[in-house]
Chains A and B, each alone.
Chain A
């Protein structure tokens, strides 16, 4: 037998319960791209996969913030780019739906990266209550998005 199999690999604090895919989905749906990354980040910790997922999570966070900055910049500084879009995708809606679409895409990519772990969790059918963590991620994601949009608006108006 491979001697590595006889080495301990469970840390003292390793929990077995994670937030359900349903909870992560709705956190992403309601909270936007930043919330999507945050809730998957929490699950990566609970799956004890932080070492595997920290760089993809960091990349996803950069994409999430970049999308918020980009959407805010276009909506505030270059509204002419939106002129050709249909009425349903006005400034506010573009930011809201575009950010939700990106949130679900990021959610999907991170979910697929950890899908084996999520399937194993589904078999055990033991999930953490997600209300507090989900709401915290939604609140943080919304707050950071508002701060970014505010900063972009200020910069765009100043220049």
Chain B
């Protein structure tokens, strides 16, 4: 293995564990060996993207493509950066070119499905995921997307079945744990989802999105949220039904019972409404302040 190959290998490992700054330093050394090497430019770009420097990542992807126009990792990097920049039409053009060049590549099918999920083209995303899984039934991203698309459709049974297959294959993989958190949360098993999210947070304590997820799951599974559980489960359609039942039910009730009895029924309802407005935000602040 040449020195450059060895450096590439080390940079890839560093990127896998999220150590972007060290990866960038090492990539600088690799670049000194061959400033036009597309693999090095691409890895440096991936490190920049990991560090949130999308402009630099895009510049490096273009530099790699100038050096080698068909360089696949550079095209994938460009696609990822365009996705992050929400330049979805441009990202689609890149991934479609990749798919036309490699029509049987499940990575690109799953990548395109991920993009389509972002722009709510769910049917086409489902078709691409099915196609990716036909080519590679164990494809990680395609399986994650399949589970998420089942959750979106409200088909918890199929989502759980997909999750079960993923757990059987690789129970500790981060993408499996992430999917499990989403599926369990959607099925109302917030406590189980919370335990998984806490485990993941121990491994990645600086991930702000994960912190938010843990807080929301802790909130949903907290005993103080027990009276609001039907609202959490039923969402805004349930709130709409409850409003209609309460208002017109109370009017009907006043026709048949005394005002005192109507107040006895209406009082707890209005207390619940006030609590639904004030309880969750206060508890969320408390959890953020006190820890979770």
Interface string of B83-101 (1 = CB under 8 A from A): 0001011001100100110
For A123, the chain B residues whose CB sits under 8 A away are 148, 151-152, 182
- Bound-state CA distance A105–B248 (Å) is 14
B127 interface residue, CB < 8 Å from A? yes
Task: Tell me if B127 and A5 are in contact (CB < 8 A).
Answer: yes
B52 interface residue, CB < 8 Å from A? no
Name the segment of A72-80, A109-117, A134-142 touching the other chain.
A109-117
Specify the chain A residue showing the minimal Cβ separation from B237: A108
Q: Shortest Cβ distance from B223 into chain A, in angstroms?
A: 24
For B100, the chain A residues whose CB sits under 8 A away are 6
- Bound-state CA distance A111–B235 (Å) is 11
For B247, the chain A residues whose CB sits under 8 A away are 97, 101
Task: Tell me if B89 and A10 are in contact (CB < 8 A).
Answer: yes
| Residues A1-58 near B (CB distance < 8 A) | 1-2, 5-6, 8-12, 14-16, 21-22, 25, 29, 47-49
For B173, the chain A residues whose CB sits under 8 A away are none
Specify the chain A residue showing the minimal Cβ separation from B250: A88
For B118, the chain A residues whose CB sits under 8 A away are 16, 124
Task: Tell me if B89 and A21 are in contact (CB < 8 A).
Answer: no
Task: Tell me if A48 and B121 are in contact (CB < 8 A).
Answer: yes
For B128, the chain A residues whose CB sits under 8 A away are 5
Specify the chain B residue showing the minimal Cβ separation from A3: B103
B contact residues, total (Cβ < 8 Å): 42
Task: Tell me which of A5, A107, A119 contacts B152 (CB under 8 A).
Answer: A119
Q: Shortest Cβ distance from B50 into chain A, in angstroms?
A: 20
Q: Shortest Cβ distance from B186 into chain A, in angstroms?
A: 9
B167 interface residue, CB < 8 Å from A? no
A121 interface residue, CB < 8 Å from B? yes
| Residues B85-135 near A (CB distance < 8 A) | 86, 88-89, 92-93, 96, 99-100, 103-104, 109, 112, 115-122, 124, 127-128, 131
The dominant DSSP class at the B interface is helix
Name the segment of B17-25, B32-40, B57-65, B238-246 touching the other chain.
B238-246
For B237, the chain A residues whose CB sits under 8 A away are 108, 111-112
A89 interface residue, CB < 8 Å from B? yes
**CB-CB under 8 A for A2 and B127, given A14-B89, A48-B120:** yes
Task: Tell me if A88 and B251 are in contact (CB < 8 A).
Answer: yes
- Bound-state CA distance A129–B194 (Å) is 28
Task: Tell me which of A16, A104, A121 contacts B88 (CB under 8 A).
Answer: A16
- Bound-state CA distance A148–B53 (Å) is 54
B289 interface residue, CB < 8 Å from A? no
B153 interface residue, CB < 8 Å from A? yes
- Bound-state CA distance A22–B281 (Å) is 15
**CB-CB under 8 A for A10 and B121, given A108-B240, A119-B151:** yes
Task: Tell me if A5 and B239 are in contact (CB < 8 A).
Answer: no
B254 interface residue, CB < 8 Å from A? yes
Q: Shortest Cβ distance from B55 into chain A, in angstroms?
A: 20
Given contacts A10-B121, A25-B240, 19 further A-B contacts (CB under 8 A): A1-B103, A1-B109, A2-B127, A2-B131, A5-B127, A6-B96, A8-B93, A10-B88, A14-B88, A14-B89, A16-B86, A25-B236, A29-B243, A47-B120, A88-B251, A89-B251, A97-B247, A105-B240, A123-B152
**B contact residues vs A (CB 8 Å cutoff):** 86, 88-89, 92-93, 96, 99-100, 103-104, 109, 112, 115-122, 124, 127-128, 131, 148, 151-154, 182, 235-237, 239-240, 243-244, 247-248, 251, 254-255
Q: Please list 29 pairs of residues, one from A and one from B, whose beta carbons are closer than 8 Å in the complex, sorted by A's number.
A: A1-B109, A2-B127, A5-B127, A5-B128, A5-B131, A6-B99, A6-B100, A8-B89, A8-B93, A9-B124, A10-B119, A14-B89, A14-B119, A16-B86, A16-B120, A21-B236, A48-B120, A86-B254, A97-B248, A101-B244, A108-B237, A111-B237, A116-B152, A117-B122, A119-B152, A120-B120, A120-B152, A123-B148, A123-B152
The 4 closest A-B pairs by CB, nearest first: A104-B240, A25-B236, A10-B92, A119-B152
